Structure 1
């Protein structure tokens, strides 16, 4: 989630394998930069490439991975290079990141909570599918349920919160984040 504005960079400053975040008001769309102004990204069947929904909810099922121009995907969205997880996870070599993304082009599984565009992008870069947006939502809404279960003795169902809160705050509000606003014109 794009809460901090990093330094401003141009497309020519992007490197192959960088994660790109497109801020879409209530969620962020993610892609992998592959060079020459292009990105590879996972879409649900309910979205077009600029993130506009066709009014069909797609929680899970089929999606597709495609290559598009970064400006086309951005549309009117603010666009960020967002490699913040580099602080927590070791990223793969940029050639391997791009190769992983290219291998997935075509029809692909999609699930809003367990494998969305952010999961796809982080899996390509780190070898681990993560979505901080989903982790934040799970923490935000699962934590009260967890507390209730603790108080009512149902601790066996849920043994820990969905994600440690310090990871969320650290990633979203750390001033040394690895995020930069991409100037698209």
Structure 2
């Protein structure tokens, strides 16, 4: 996997971390919201830029899951601690082993130019992870979406196999029943 740094949990003051790992401009920040991850890109001086549907904010809890109903989101530049809140986060440049990161000047320029703009949003095709990976690598990808699709396909295949086995068992069982009743 790409460059992944340890999880960081903030104390209640939001000023210290367990690890002294500091993000560098262009680093991807993965924030664990419980049930999903929110993503931002670090742009320096304690700020991140992220794609935020209306329900996305620190400590939103289950309300943040409402983002699945949104079709537009706002690109925001905010202090990292305001976005992270009391959630755990890590620096996770997840695709560094797959793609060469773009030049940092291009990443920062493009990220800054998008601040304040409303953009299409879809949990499946245009989410916050797609947004930051496109900025860093020039390729919009979402590991969360890929994992969800893989799980759904695997579950569908498993259910199909169970159905086929049940059908076959029913067919063979009815033949056995016919033999015994004759």
Distance in 1, Cα, partners of 2:99 & 2:20: 23
Q: Does structure 2 conserve the Cα–Cα contact (< 8 Å) formed by 1:46 and 1:53?
A: no
Larger radius of gyration: 2
User: Please, which runs of 5 or more residues in structure 2 have no aligned partner?
Assistant: 8-18, 165-182
- Residue correspondences, number: 146
State TM-score, norm by structure 2.
0.70
Q: Deviations over 1:95-145 (max 9, x none)?
A: 111112112212111111111111101010000111101110000112343
2:85 — aligned with what? 75
2:129 and 2:64 map into 1 onto residues whose CA distance is 21
Higher strand share: 1
Alpha-carbon contact 2:73-2:120 (below 8 Å) kept: yes
Determine whether 1:19 maps to 2:28: yes
Describe the shift of the 1:5–1:90 C-alpha distance in structure 2 as closer, same or farther (beyond 3 A).
closer
**CA RMSD, Structure 1 to Structure 2 (Å):** 2.5
Q: 1:119 to 1:67 in 2, by over 3 A?
A: same
- 2:154 equivalent to 1:143: yes
Q: 1:53/1:67 Cα in 2 relative to 1: closer, same or farther (>3 Å)? A: farther
Superposed CA offset, 1:34-89 (max 9, x none): 00000000011222355546478333411101001111111111121101210011
Question: Is 1:128 equivalent to 2:161 in the alignment?
Answer: no
Match of 1:48 among 51, 54, 57: 57
Larger RCO: 1 or 2 (CA < 8 Å, sep 6+): 1
Partner-residue secondary structure (3-state), 1:82: strand
The residue that corresponds to 1:111 in the other structure is: 122
8 Å contact 1:32–1:98 — kept in the other structure? no
The secondary structure found in structure 1 opposite 2:89 is strand
TM-score by length of 1: 0.69
Task: Indicate how the Cα distance of structure 1 residues 97 and 142 shifts in structure 2: closer, same or farther if over 3 A, else same.
Answer: same
SS at match of 1:57: helix
Equivalent-residue separation in structure 2 for 1:58 and 1:71 (angstroms): 21
Greater displacement, 20-29 / 31-40:
20-29
**SS of equivalent residue, structure 1 residue 39:** strand
Kindly indicate which of the two structures has a greater share of residues assigned to helix: 2
